[in-house]
Chains A and B, each alone.
Chain A
Amino acid sequence: MFNLTIQERRVILFLSSMVLLGLGINFALKVNSRIAKYIRVDKHITKMNINKANLQDLLSLSGITPKLAKNIAAYRDKKGLFRDIEELKEIKGIGDYRYGKLKELFYVE
């Protein structure tokens, strides 16, 4: 009826399926906000829990030297778990500039 080629059909199908998927997600988000955690990127994927990170984990991040990793671990052993990410500033070797970079890498839980 439409006299479309197979490639034209594929393009239309792809675009329609993406719109349909987007529409479905949009609807689901409106109806049930808890669905967001399945659709949005979770923070544990993009950041590291500073209270659970061991020395090896800390060293795998760029900008963290072995000395700094040890200082973070020592601080945690001495003062207990972090309650706020700003506590990082109390660690020796972390000034405002470095804190600005490190807060992008960690979260507290």
Chain B
Amino acid sequence: MLSKPMKRPLVIFTLIFCLGIFVSRQLRIPFLPVYILALLSLFLSLIFLKKTMRSDIFLSCLIFFLGAALWKNYQILPRCHISGYSSYKNNYPYTVKGRVDSQPAFKNNTASFIFKAEEIQFNGSSYNTCGNIIVYVRSKKDLGSALTKLQGLEYGEELILTGSLYRPFRSSANNRQNYRDYLYNQGIFSVMNVSGIDSVARLKQNRGLIFQRLAFWLKDRMEDIIFKRVSFVPASIIDAMVLGEKKNIPVLINNSMMKSGTVHILVVSGFNVALVTFIIILSLKLARIPKAIRFYIAAPLIVIYCLLTGASTPVVRATIMAGVFMFACLIKREPDIYNSCALAAIFILLINPRQLFDIGFQLSFASVISIVYLYPKLKSFITPRVLKIKYIRFLIEGCLVSLSAWLGTAGIVAYYFRTFSPITALANIFIVPLASLITLCGFSLIAMQFLCPILAPFFAYSSEFAVSLLLNINAFLIKLPGAYFRLS
């Protein structure tokens, strides 16, 4: 008798794969033994291919050791990697040639960007190198105009930089999350400080990917519109919600959102990708474009949006899930959210297994899984009669989604940020709908600027009002007794 096929094999595979990464991180075993065990598991699963039970066991072992080997391999940096040339602190003047690998950020007379190194010079010798570093170009003396020389610096541009190179420090007293680990999780093992604009030589060549350059160009144009039409603080919030750019948000606002557990709305997350997907599909639907073509048009646009917002883990997860859902609709199959979530996790971890220990990765997956798993269970406790009234149903469903997400993420938030916020479940009920409205308003503002600029100021006023309302509600909620607790 044939056994029934498993409904969600990808979920089990992903869990085993993650376990392999986790165990490999804890144990000090070299790469080769792990690799040999993976090969052995592959060999045994091939031999016992027809014996279901044994084949399954060896297949599980194979995936486990694959995860472990991937982690070990990721830990080994190439001999020429730039981190091999830097120590925790030295004063060599290093000269590094390479290209800008992110969109440069300008703040407080400092320009910062990720730099893909190709050649390094120090002590009169030159070496080929590889790897990413984070660069800070600081200008202390000529505060006003120096950095304007760097304006126009863009992704992909070739540069020669001269400055000090060092490994990042653990800049936080909190052992559970610090800047060094954050950088390591992004695959950045060195920091370069460049003092003064004269230490930056621009080679006027751009070798960035066209698709990525297009995304950043679009982002620049959209940011210009937002900051031109809306005053600075609301514009910084809209910029974060719509384009994922957090650099202009005042620290105090960030702190107060963290206290209320609603800081997730200040980053582009799965929610935004879902919203963008919805807007694109709906716009195409309104233009009477057939369903199949709608999906073919929407898919690259969502990928551009993902690149435009910096391709952070939650956005990549949501983009893959949206892609899976659209593909399932195209081939008329029922999409399974757990399997698409697992596919997104495998995809992210194959590129960078360190992401498993990244707070963003953990929060993103924990919130989605807890909403999908807990929400129907919590909803089953509510009597169906109450849910028949449309507005009460809407309110209760909102509360339950918020509660599910909070239950799933409260532990992680308490562990990393040492803050426990019971107010989160209540705050999300008010904040999330307002955040949706602001995001929609932000997109409408950008669209109106192109389609009908005369209407754009009205959208700007509405957005500004919604942001002000959101911040005031948040400020009120965190003042309530027992709103949040700092864990020692």
A: residues with CB less than 8 A from B are 7-8, 11, 14-15, 18-19, 21-23, 25-26, 38-42, 44-48, 60-62, 96-97, 100-101, 104-105
Contact = CB atoms under 8 A, between A and B. Distances in A.
A21 B468 CA distance: 14
Contacts of A18: 441, 444, 458-459, 462
Contact of B250 (A11, A38, A46, A60): A46
Interface in B307-363: none
Contact of B286 (A11, A40, A44, A45): A11
Contacts of B108: 100-101, 104
B241 interface: no
A26 B467 contact: no
Nearest to B441: A18
B461 A41 contact: no
B471 A60 contact: no
Contacts of B253: 45-46
A105 B251 CA distance: 7
Contact of B251 (A7, A25, A62): A62
Contact of B465 (A15, A39, A48, A100): A39
A44 B292 CA distance: 51
Contact of A46 (B140, B143, B252, B460): B252
A23 B252 contact: no
Contact of B455 (A19, A21, A38, A40): A19
B370 interface: no
Given A22-B460, A61-B255, A104-B250, 14 more contacts: A11-B282, A14-B444, A21-B458, A22-B462, A39-B465, A42-B472, A45-B475, A46-B233, A46-B253, A48-B252, A61-B251, A96-B140, A100-B108, A104-B251
Given A7-B286, A100-B108, A14 B440 contact: yes
B197 to A, nearest CB: 16
Interface of B: 108-109, 140, 143, 231, 233-234, 250-253, 255-256, 282, 285-286, 440-441, 444, 455, 457-462, 464-465, 467-468, 471-472, 475
A62 B108 CA distance: 14
B252 A45 contact: yes
Contacts of B475: 44-45
Contacts of A101: 108
* 7 nearest CB pairs, A to B: A22-B458, A22-B461, A25-B461, A46-B250, A22-B462, A21-B462, A41-B233
A23 B458 contact: yes
A47 B247 CA distance: 16
Contacts of B444: 14-15, 18
Contacts of B455: 19
A38 B469 CA distance: 8
A15 B444 CA distance: 8
A90 to B, nearest CB: 20
A60 B478 CA distance: 15
Contact of B462 (A25, A40, A41, A61): A25
Nearest to B437: A18
Contacts of A25: 461-462, 464-465
Nearest to B475: A45
B465 A47 contact: no
B468 A39 contact: yes
Given A45-B471, A46-B250, A105-B251, A100 B143 contact: yes
Contacts of A8: 286
B230 to A, nearest CB: 10
A42 B126 CA distance: 54
Contact of B472 (A15, A45, A47): A45
A7 B464 CA distance: 26
B440 A26 contact: no
A105 B440 contact: no
6 contacts: A18-B441, A19-B455, A21-B462, A45-B252, A46-B250, A100-B108
A25 B234 CA distance: 15
A38 B122 CA distance: 58
Contacts of B462: 18-19, 21-22, 25
